[in-house]
Amino acid sequence: MAEAAAVDPGKVPCFNLGPGRKIPCIGMGTFGSDKYGPEEVAAAVAGALRFGYRLFDCASVYGNEDRIGGVFEAAFREGVKREEVFIISKVWNDMHGPGDVLFSLAKTLRDLRLDYVDAYFVHWPFPNYHAPGCDGDARNPNSVPFSPDRFMATWAQMERISGMGLTKNLGMSNMTVSKLETILPRCRIKPALIEMEQHPSFQQRELFDYCRSKNITVIGYCPIGSPNRPERDKSPGDVADTELPEVAAAAAAHGIHPALVCLKWAVQRGSVPIPFSVHAKNYESNLRSVIEDPLGAEEMEALTRAERNCRLVKGQVFLWPGAKGWEDLWD
């Protein structure tokens, strides 16, 4: 039997995704950011499961699903209930072609040692591939701009795997309002979840509100501002969320690390942050932060003013020949 978790997973609030479907309000990211290898990330997932996490954001491109799968298998053997853990994975850009989505998910399920995932995402809305760990100037000459028809061909495959019972929910990631306006009316099965970059200095208010108006739950990536992100995702004008005066003031008032202010803000705003850390001290305090000592209404209001339009994951490695700059990816 698994020993009792330090934080009772039943005390972590959930958001509803529809009849009988819900998602914990905070999860753990699993992208090692070119810095932490599969063993370290898998060890953190094991520790997080023991501590009480019940949501994990995985992806085939993170290159660690086979190790994380061993952790899940052991946890379920030791008594953690499969239906109490929400497991996400994503199809990478090089697997959008005919038949590829099922193929990709089959490999993910084998690696994660699962019969189904709780949500399967299209990681980026175009098939533009770059080698893992490439530098920021790398370009693939085969890259193409967003095409609604091409995307819908991929989405039809997503709908098929949903019908096969291999995923409980479908998701899209790295979308924009204008792409969603084109795509959503054409979806037979609408996404239950959208994953987007979201932290105090980059709140994506229009996209966030748009998703909520469509009953789509938002998962926020880089919720702390990704201080250890890969070099290719760093630009001279970037701001550090944990150093913003609005964040620092709330942190001082609560006597907590500014990272935890970012997470409380995300959850109280109604989104699901998926912070990453391999360090127990950090991932434990991250989970605890959402069940105690909430921010006040005035602090939440002050944090809306932390917006600096600071996109960190610009995606420039996915640009196609003839594109002017990374802004083209985001309409």
Ligand X SMILES: NC(=O)c1ccc[n+]([C@@H]2O[C@H](COP(=O)([O-])OP(=O)(O)OC[C@H]3O[C@@H](n4cnc5c(N)ncnc54)[C@H](OP(=O)(O)O)[C@@H]3O)[C@@H](O)[C@H]2O)c1
- Contact set with ligand X (CB under 6 A): 29-31, 33, 57, 123, 173-174, 195, 221-229, 257, 259-260, 274-279, 282, 285-286, 313
Q: Determine which one of 36, 53, 62, 221 is catalytic.
A: 62
**Catalytic-residue membership of 36:** no
Closest CB to ligand X among residues 99, 133: 133
Q: Which of left, alpha, beta for 62 (phi over 0: left; psi -120 to 50: alpha)?
A: alpha
Q: Which residue is nearest to ligand X (CB)?
A: 29
Closest CB to ligand X among residues 28, 114: 28
Closest CB to ligand X among residues 36, 210: 36
Closest CB to ligand X among residues 77, 143: 143
The least CB distance from residue 248 to ligand X, in Å, is 13
Write out the E strands in 21-60.
21-24, 28-29, 55-57
What CA–CA distance (Å, rounded) separates 208 from 177? 9
Question: Following DSSP, what letter does each residue of 190-257 receive, concatenated?
Answer: --SEEEEE-BTTB--HHHHHHHHHTT-EEEEESTT--TT--GGG--TT---GGG-HHHHHHHHHHTS-
Q: Say how many C-beta atoms besides its own lie within 10 A of residue 281's C-beta.
A: 9
Exposed, middle or buried: residue 257 (CB in 10 Å: 0-12, 13-18, 19+)? middle
The least CB distance from residue 98 to ligand X, in Å, is 24
The least CB distance from residue 30 to ligand X, in Å, is 5
The least CB distance from residue 16 to ligand X, in Å, is 22
- Residues taking part in catalysis: 62
